[in-house]
Amino acid sequence: MLYRKVSLRTISANVLFLIVGVGREVLHTELQSIASPPDANGLSYVYSVENFDALNGLIGRLIDATCEKCAVSHMTDIVVVIDDLSESAMKQQEFSRALDGLTYIAQSLPAYGQAHGQTVTITTIGDLGFRHTSIPNATDLGSLLTSIQSIRQQQSSCYIDECDKALVLNISSGMIHIINITGQNNYQRNNSRKIIVVFSSGRFMDKSLARLELQDALNESNNDIFAIGHGFDIDMEGLHAIVKEPYNVFTLLDDNLETLDVFKSKLSYIVCS
């Protein structure tokens, strides 16, 4: 690895290096040391994957890096979904790490306080209803971090007064509702990109049924939908059931949050003239 580092450093700085590590034994810091540093087009050029399907995600970044007359846009409406359903059985540590991952992502968003920057909303799906975390100013980092810190895992019964006790949710019905309301027009932000980020264990009771029930909503939606799971006990089949593209599933297999750097790059996008 040392030889490779020295060799790469002798090559012209105009060359862009995207480094791909495959498997669980990849050392992320080593990959970072030989990859191109972050720039306006990407927060990371290191990809850690378990299979080669995930490499489809490289295509968009390669276009970004080689496109002429293009600019980065941060006008993105981000909807964060935390799966707190009992059927998903998210462990306390997994829930805590989901909040850590969300905090890490929030701290990297570049356009707070800008009229055409990103907005963020957070929704928790529980068995008996939705919990919408209040964010007084969605473009303010301090308010967003305070809101994240206030999120608590549900107990055995409904945890908010506003729960509709006649409503029983599962991952399919919860996601369909969120996909539909996220796709509604906001005429002040018609040109914004809509992103849904789901933190989940993927351990649904019937993953095939979840995929079937979500299929129409996923296919008809123009939202970019991502799933993030933490730990070795996540169910990849379940996570893949709630996204359109398999390369939009991200996993944190250790406590190194830097593995989310590639995902953070996706929260901005390229607009070409």
Higher pLDDT pick, 95 / 33: 95
In this prediction, residue 1 has a pLDDT band, given cuts at 50, 70 and 90, of very low
Phi, psi of 14 (to 5 degrees): -80, -10
Per-residue pLDDT at 2: 42
CA distance 103 to 146: 10
Per-residue pLDDT at 193: 83
CA distance 152 to 145: 14
Checking if the pLDDT of 19 tops 80, the result is no
CA distance 119 to 37: 27
Residue that is written with structure tokens 């990859």 in the block = 35
Provide the whole-model pTM: 0.70
Alpha-carbon separation of residue 137 from 101, 112, 162, 174, 182 (angstroms): 21, 10, 22, 25, 18
CA distance 202 to 88: 6
Give the model confidence (pLDDT) of 81-96 as tens digits.
999 888 888 888 888 8
Q: Are strands 249-252 and 224-230 parallel, antiparallel or unpaired?
A: parallel
Average pLDDT, the chain: 75
- Domains of the chain and any CATH numbers: 2-68 (no CATH), 71-272 (3.40.50.410)
Higher pLDDT pick, 259 / 80: 80
CA distance 248 to 229: 11
Give the model confidence (pLDDT) of 209-268 as tens digits.
888 998 988 888 888 899 998 878 888 899 999 998 887 888 877 667 776 776 776 776
- Please report which residue ranges of 42-170 form alpha helices under DSSP H: 57-66, 92-108, 141-149
Higher pLDDT pick, 169 / 26: 169
CA distance 121 to 197: 10
Give the model confidence (pLDDT) of 110-151 as tens digits.
778 777 788 888 888 887 777 766 564 456 788 888 888 888
Residue of 259, 258, 237, 238 lying closest to 250 (CA atoms): 259
Checking if the pLDDT of 191 tops 60, the result is yes
CA distance 133 to 53: 34
Per-residue pLDDT at 197: 92
Q: Are strands 269-272 and 119-126 parallel, antiparallel or unpaired?
A: unpaired
